[in-house]
Structure 1
């Protein structure tokens, strides 16, 4: 596939291996087995881009084929106003899976969801009893509200059917943000269940109080690919902060564990991508240890694989629109930095 490069994406930042880290904790490399352990979940994140009907009958193509033990319970969304989602059981991994679709390049509404933002308090219905100082991206919160009741019901059904006690929340891009909100909300309604969250290309979702709550209460890994700039927007100058748990894929495809919130080391996203123009949006969809995100790897309801040229075209449109939106907001609030 030929990737679109916006004319302003000329200042790509190469990785610089620092000899010291500005923080007390050290950056460590993941072993081959640790990286491989993410792969089933990477396919589950990609599965969330596929139409609900194909997820329910396990005909979504390579993503469904990669996890043969998956037992679907429920799926929904329209891929535009409501992101696709699904809930199912994986007895081989001994976990219930909850997946959220990311930013579908063929739909304009999710792109706007990513851009028109401000911080707002949590919805008391789905986040009862939490500190009022915790605030999140308003549109991420609105998207979460649209599916939370269905996902809670389906998750309860999956737990009851499987007798499992673990739930894994999965997503890429906007889907990673929704999965992270699930990881804060669902435990409030499902006591005694263990939750973990794996996100890919996770944007900043909330303020410092949100990040602090996640750090204290959520088992989170969020994987960022090379110079993808989505993990460093919205801006820190607007009050947004990344939680801990970053795994950063380097240019040589090794994975590093980056401790802390928005680690400024150049081997981690916040240090590697110092401005939007220093990023490369073609890194956003992957590969994540060989797994690409997005609908191009899905099959449609009739079983026909997506057309590569159409996928490339919509990807090009996505790059242009997202870059312009992100650049406009970055330049409006901070002409030099995304931090």
Structure 2
């Protein structure tokens, strides 16, 4: 018996790296969900839905990992700084003076352990909150990401500084154990990398959103000799549409009456309009510069050329070359190997070399 399958798309918040996407994919694969693709660039997950599980169950599985999954909406991102940018600029305020103490004389107040501790503390809290959630989520998937190492490295420097400060309190030797600036610098620099990555991803999603906006609008449809307005996504195959000068072609179709000059630059890059006459094909999203036509819809919805272009852009990261697939495999074992090396280094240096 054939099982009815439907492609479902979810928006996922909280992914900080491609390894997060890989962890979500592997977790959903283990649960038996079919054709799972998680795209870090667009923050989306796609899968085939059937009667064995529904969308709410898949959302619940992702949310239990510490991420936030929702159905795709048409909401536009609010203007202003993003959450990751706010965290970066907040930590930068404390990190710059803390880092600068390395270039100042010993008499400067920034050399005081109390000052360094209180400058580092808010940065450390932000780092634990931001990287800790991602690290914990990755550990739940069984695929630890780089945030695990970032959290361990910054925490080690922070608590080692406190240990040395307390142990040698009031002595000159205590300054040899202060690495508060290391904690703050690690967190701030990684947040800077996340900001740059966020802006790069934002450019990709903005391009996709702008393409998707071309598919929206109202069209004039002829029904029994009368003209009515209808949304682009409500047009059906074989509907008769009227397109006048300045209008956007709603969907792919064929001219059945009239002549028009159509700007197809969004597809071809050619700025000179193209003449379209009887029985010629027109593409949805292109603009009528002059003339009027009647057209018969031949491709609608996801079957239009514009929809297929958008889908290709979204799936560009899913069609990975061999070198990227190899990179994903290496990243899956990189963190455990680094942790193992760190543990071995500790025990060898402590017990063998004293």
Confirm or deny a common fold (TM above 0.5). no
Higher relative contact order (CA 8 A, sep 6+): 1
Structure of larger gyration radius: 2
The TM-score normalised by the length of structure 1 is 0.22
